[in-house]
Structure 1
Amino acid sequence: MSTRSRAVLLGVMAAAALSLSACGNGGVSGGGGDTHFVTGDNGIDTAPRGKRDAAPELSGKTIDGRTLDVADYKGKVVVLNVWGSWCGPCREEAKYFSKVSKAYAGKGVQFVGINTRDTSTTPAVAFEKENDIAYPSLYDPTGRLMLRFEKGTLNPQLIPSTLVLDKEGKVAARALQPLDDATLLKMVKPVLAEK
């Protein structure tokens, strides 16, 4: 293989790796056919009731060593935020997640983080302390929890990604970009209002 061919191949591989794992500010969903979800002009994908996919099993150890199963929060709206301590956009949105999670504590909303691609829990714990994050985060260094979501569904594809699960544990909304408090509440409030 020539030097030029190797360089082109390496460039393609690097671009593919970045699109799959890097911090990002948006993206498109995978799969084809009728997915039943709609992308709004604010970059939030939503699925109407009755057309939502169940979230996969999401359980394991948290960054502080406890055991957590997201299914235990059935009956509440769950906000899942996929983040990494190394991710600049995650740092931008952390203060908003802290603020909204505290404002909605005891109001039927549970926040859960999924920390990914941190090679140890030390920087993840420091990130949560620095950003005053009080809710639990599953530790997922290899991204295995993200891979449990089926292709073509409202799945997390970038870091950060945020999903809102309805009270039945189904994915109602997704954002593939960093969020401020106003945009986060645009995802949460309609799902919380469902009877």
Structure 2
Amino acid sequence: MNTRHLASGSAAALAAALFLSACGTGTGSSGDDTSKSGGGNEVISSYAPGEREQVHGISGKTLDGKPLDLADYKGHVVVVNLWGSNCGPCRGEAPNLVKVAKETEAEGVRFVGINTRDPSREAAIRFEEEYGVPYPSLYDQMGRIVLKLPRGSVNPQAIPSTIVLDPDGRLAARALAPLSERDLRRVLRPLIAENKRA
């Protein structure tokens, strides 16, 4: 009986911790090659080519109802940003993502959003209009698409988070906190160089 109460208490504590971490900053998992940038709270992990895990099955409908499949972006470096319209840190990083998306498009970089756990498409569309987001976002109200990302790559309960795929569709980097322009470029630079050499 005591064991059952302890288990219930632990589950409640875990649920509370996950709730509190939502829309906050995350930390890298143990064992990752994680670098913390100076002057900010971004936590970025990069993976060597031999350590990269393939990302499969990320598809669905965009905010405007069009089909989108990440598999169609093969051959490009792809930045996938998880966000919500009611998330303050997501609003803080949005201009950085928009600027870098525009500046790196000619170098073969593509951006895709995953709008997760937003109560309505309308709120998410207003967010994109407000920040002039030039790239599509999958609408993932129930968080099901996010759960298809490689296990441990992101915390499904915490946004914003960002993963970066190499041109072969493999997980090359991740950030579990809002990204600055500088840090986003720092993650993308070696992947763009890799793609040019290929």
TM-score (norm 1): 0.86
Spell out the pairing of 1:13-92 with structure 2 (5 A cutoff): 14-18=15-19, 22-29=22-29, 37-42=32-37, 43-92=43-92
Match of 2:18, as an amino acid?
A
Structure 1 residue ranges, 4+ long, deviating more than 6 angstroms after superposition: none
Contact 1:82 1:156 in 2 (8 A): no
- Higher normalized helix content (fraction of residues): 2
- SS of residue in 1 equivalent to 2:100: helix
Whole-Å Cα distance in 1 between the matches of residues 109 and 150 of structure 2?
Answer: 24
**Residue-by-residue CA offset, 1:126-152 (whole Å, 9 max, x unaligned):** 000000101000001111111112324
Match of 1:104 in 2: 104
Whole-Å Cα distance in 1 between the matches of residues 91 and 150 of structure 2?
Answer: 27
Q: How many residues align?
A: 183
User: RMSD of aligned C-alpha atoms?
Assistant: 2.2
Deviation at 1:26, TM superposition (A): 1.8
Contact 2:28 2:44 in 1 (8 A): no
Spell out the pairing of 1:139-158 with structure 2 (5 A cutoff): 139-152=139-152, 155-157=153-155, 158=158
Deviation at 1:13, TM superposition (A): 5.3
Spell out the pairing of 1:113-152 with structure 2 (5 A cutoff): 113-152=113-152
**Which one is further off, 140-149 or 159-168?**
140-149
Match of 2:183 in 1: 183
Deviation at 1:187, TM superposition (A): 1.0
Which runs of no fewer than 5 residues in structure 2 stay unpaired?
38-42
Whole-Å Cα distance in 2 between the matches of residues 56 and 90 of structure 1?
Answer: 25
Whole-Å Cα distance in 1 between the matches of residues 117 and 64 of structure 2?
Answer: 16
Deviation at 1:25, TM superposition (A): 1.1
Whole-Å Cα distance in 2 between the matches of residues 192 and 18 of structure 1?
Answer: 36
Percent identity among equivalent residues? Answer: 48
- SS of residue in 2 equivalent to 1:104: helix
**Residue-by-residue CA offset, 1:44-89 (whole Å, 9 max, x unaligned):** 1011012100112111100011110111010000000000001100
Match of 1:40, as an amino acid?
S
- SS of residue in 1 equivalent to 2:51: coil
Which runs of no fewer than 5 residues in structure 1 stay unpaired?
none
TM-score (norm 2): 0.85
Contact 2:58 2:149 in 1 (8 A): no
**Which one is further off, 104-113 or 83-92?**
104-113
Contact 1:24 1:176 in 2 (8 A): no
Match of 1:17, as an amino acid?
L
